[in-house]
Amino acid sequence: MVKSISQIKYNLSLLDERNAKVNTALGTKEALEYGSDNAVLYSQILNIQNDKNGYTAISQYITLSQAFNTISDDTMAEVKNTTQSVIGDLLEANNDTTAQSQREIIATQLEDYRNSLLALANTNVNGQYIFSGVNTSTIPFIKDANGVISYQSDNSTRKVNVEDATYTAQGINGIKAFYYVNNEVSSGAKYEYGSTFTVDSTETIVDQDGNSWQFVDTTIPADGTFDGLYMNGDTSTTPISIVDNGDGTITITNDSPSTELNITSDGESFTFTTNEIILDKDENEWKLMDTDNDGTFDGLYMNGDTTTTPITVTDNGDGTITTTNTSTVDLDVYHSVFDDLTDAINALRLVDNNGNTITKVEQRNVLTNVIDKMNDAYESQNIAHSLVGTRTSTINAYANIVSSKVTNLKILEEKYASADLTSLAIEAKALESTYTAMYATISRLNSMSLVKYLS
């Protein structure tokens, strides 16, 4: 009998434990009270919740970026409208029937347009400048004491987190919005695999990766004749075949399938202004740098990195730079619409940018040139506006995908983490019946005695 009572008490403790869990689950509506209740299920729930929280954060960030997208699109539309107005006024000013007094009125109007474009160029959303690339806290355009408007940021592109470890471009920087290609500059002669050509033995030869290929006399002792073209002068590498003609020239046959050789001295020479921007075909920006701080620019450095090999320049001291493209890539010279407007405004008032008087013929030439340039700028703005739209559409597409993932993860979380209330209610009723039966058994045991048993 004592053993039976002990067994009943043990079973009753198990029943109490299960009843507590059922009541807790009914109260919290959660499938698990502790992770130890079901380690596998608990791990699944944690993974789902982590994914849900991550995608919820991404969704919220994308939502916050919608204002940036909308303002970027609206601003580019207004930039284009303003540029069209500028072109219209310039065409009117360049008409033979337009009096000089009217041209001066148009000059004042163009000043207003230039100020409007500057305000648009410095548009910000919640303190973030839309045309500064990744440097959203940096004002993109400033006007100096001489009235020159220049770009202060770089050729970077703002990114938005649209998926787990995935980012996509958002908006455009000021170069794409307010500059256009004014000149395309070749990097020199290029010789692909299979090409045969003759160069001077003193030429500098580089490949598409920036490696320098050097003529080496490998004969020991040296016989004064070059035997091969070696990458970075390293004779342990496979050379490119050459023939030393003995007259200071070398004939090269590019027999390296993966190498394109550039003769940098054949690069195109060009002159540009200090307010123009130089980009290569890989979107690197070549920046003018004064490395010795003497007030004169010493070279064009890729992305402003003075540890890289520069393109040597000649500072003409009048705001222009002359150089030869000795890089391995073609360069594009980008010109500012603000500079074009300044040229037009001064010409309309019959002066040049230094305040010197010009003739009406010179005025006409300047206006004709600026009209052509503003048309180029408008085409560039159309491309930039399309790019904004394309990037915004991509972000919106991801927004829909992420929203769907959040919804699905919430459903999964509810499926795995939520208690089955129907099953719990049935189990609670079963536990109640078991309690009743067990307490009835205990009652009968308590009423039993040896006297009753013997009688």
- Return d(Cα 341, Cα 374) in angstroms, integer: 9
Q: Which CATH number fits domain 54-181+338-403: 3.90.1150.10, 2.70.70.10, 2.60.120.260, 1.20.1330.10?
A: 1.20.1330.10
CB-based contact 84:378 (threshold 8 Å)? yes
Q: What is the pLDDT of residue 328?
A: 82
- Return d(Cα 352, Cα 51) in angstroms, integer: 63
Give residues with Cβ within 8 angstroms of 84, minimum separation 6. Answer: 378
**What are the boundaries of each domain within the chain?**
54-181+338-403, 189-264, 269-329
Omega cis (within 30) before 221: yes
Mean pLDDT by 10 residues, the chain (455 residues): 60 59 59 64 86 94 92 98 98 96 98 98 96 97 96 96 94 98 91 94 88 94 94 95 95 95 87 97 95 93 94 93 91 98 98 95 97 98 97 95 92 71 59 64 61 50
Q: What is the pLDDT of residue 41?
A: 79
SS3 for the chain is CHHHHHHHHHHHHHHHHHHHHHHHHHHHCECCCCHHHCHHHHHHHHHHHHHHHHHHHHHHHHHHHHHHHHHHHHHHHHHHHHHHHHHHHHHHHCCCCCCHHHHHHHHHHHHHHHHHHHHHHCCEECCEECCCCCCCCCCCEEECCCCCEEECCCCCCEEEEEECCEEEEECCCHHHHHEEEEEEECCCEEECCCCEEEEECCCCEEECCCCEEEEECCCCCCCCCCCEEEECCCCCCCCEEEEECCCCEEEEECCCCCCCEEEHHHCCEEEEECCCEEEECCCCEEEEECCCCCCCCCEEEECCCCCCCCEEEEECCCCEEEEECCCCCCEEEEEEHHHHHHHHHHHHCCECCCCCECCHHHHHHHHHHHHHHHHHHHHHHHHHHHHHHHHHHHHHHHHHHHHHHHHHHHHHHHHHHECCHHHHHHHHHHHHHHHHHHHHHHHHHHHCCHHHHHC
Q: What is the pLDDT of residue 45?
A: 82
Tokens 């006024």, residue located: 89
Q: What is the pLDDT of residue 374?
A: 98
Question: Which string of b and e fits 312-328 if b means at least 16 CB within 10 Å?
Answer: ebebeeeeebebbbbbb
Token reading at 270: 């060009």
Give residues with Cβ within 8 angstroms of 147, minimum separation 6. Answer: 342
Token reading at 403: 């929203």
Q: What is the pLDDT of residue 430?
A: 62
- Return d(Cα 207, Cα 379) in angstroms, integer: 34
CB-based contact 384:177 (threshold 8 Å)? yes
Q: What is the pLDDT of residue 243?
A: 96
Provide the greatest CA pair distance for the chain. Answer: 142
Q: Of 264, 254, 383, 261, nearest to 331 (Cα)? A: 264
Q: What is the pLDDT of residue 32?
A: 64
Token reading at 12: 């009753």
CB-based contact 196:251 (threshold 8 Å)? yes
Q: Of 331, 210, 321, 211, nearest to 267 (Cα)? A: 331
Amino acid at 340: D
